[in-house]
Amino acid sequence: MFPFCTDPSALQGLAWLSCYLTTGSHMLFYASFGTVLALLAVTAPVALLFGFGGAMAARSRLAPLRWFGRIYTAMVRGVPDIIFFLFVPIALDQGFEWLRSRVYCDPSVPVRQGNEFIVCAAAKLPLSTSPEWVHQLYGIFLAVVAFSVVFGAFAANVLHGAMAAVPRAQLETAEAYGMSPRQVNRRILIPQMWTYALPGLANLWMILIKATPLLFVLGIEDIVYWARELGSAKTSAYAYRHPDWRLYYFLAILVFYLLMTWGSERIFDRLRARLSAGQATAAGEAMRKAAT
């Protein structure tokens, strides 16, 4: 906040706006954009790891593991995303608190009392005495797990299809040269599959970007929360009173997401061109024809 912002009632024009946009609440609003970017940076690789594990499980020769991989992808993809976004954090939170209650609470007291889930104060996670940033970080952790479970199932389906698209002749040739199944997967199947998986993963990344406003549903103070709070009408009870400005705040969020998707498309186009070079795919064939 600038030095001349001590008396908001005496400000006008650009001075009023500069002071208004540098209040503590607005700083939290700006920081919430970083929260969204951090969520994407953590969730994307974790979801990809979930997806890779699910795809490999679905291709496993062990029937129980193969069933698990197929059930995981089918079940998560068949249930509305918001159900999992609400179910997974609640289930994890209650699971953690139940485990802590077995250690810090009287185990003879049931945690399920009718329809209520009640544990002692020492088993609460986070503790009521914890600072606010701990509560926010814990909420983001639960959100990352929820997003990873959901988008990991979609990634598993994409990767499974990409693995099936790798020409069988290449795998058989590798086997004929004496490679073990593990070597075939590591040296032939996995490097080749990314060319076929990239379009589906690019679409999945775009959907993940558009799903980040669901953080607001999970109680995290994200950009949607602050846009609604700061943009709503402020009366004379507030230092910086103004009418309903939610349209402008949500317009700023719209621009942010459009820039995110535009930049992502440019990056994926470069990745697609690099991976398709020399590959026996439609994109690779188009590159060869363009070069001649």
In the chain, which ranges are continuous DSSP H helix?
13-20, 24-58, 63-77, 81-104, 132-165, 168-176, 181-184, 190-211, 223-231, 246-276, 282-291
Model-wide pTM > 0.75: yes
Q: What is the reported pLDDT for 253?
A: 93
CA distances from 286 to 130, 214, 289 (A): 58, 39, 5
Q: What is the pLDDT of residues 179-238, one digit of tens each?
A: 888 888 888 888 888 888 888 999 999 989 988 888 877 778 889 889 999 988 888 777
Q: Give which of 162, 219, 198, 209 is closest to 274, Cα–Cα.
A: 198
Give the integer Cα–Cα distance in Å for 158 and 100.
38
Q: What is the pLDDT of residues 257-284, one digit of tens each?
A: 999 999 999 998 888 888 776 555 555 5
Specify whether the CB–CB gap between 227 and 29 falls below 8 A.
Answer: yes
Q: What is the pLDDT of residues 81-105, one digit of tens each?
A: 788 888 888 888 888 888 888 888 8
3-state secondary structure of 113: strand
Note the residue count of the chain.
292
Burial tier of 290 (Cβ tally within 10 Å: 0-12, 13-18, 19+): exposed
Backbone CA torsion sign across 75, 76, 82, 88: positive
Which tokens go with 124? Answer: 């609460």
CA distances from 230 to 79, 132, 288 (A): 34, 20, 54
Q: What is the pLDDT of residues 117-136, one digit of tens each?
A: 888 888 888 887 888 888 88
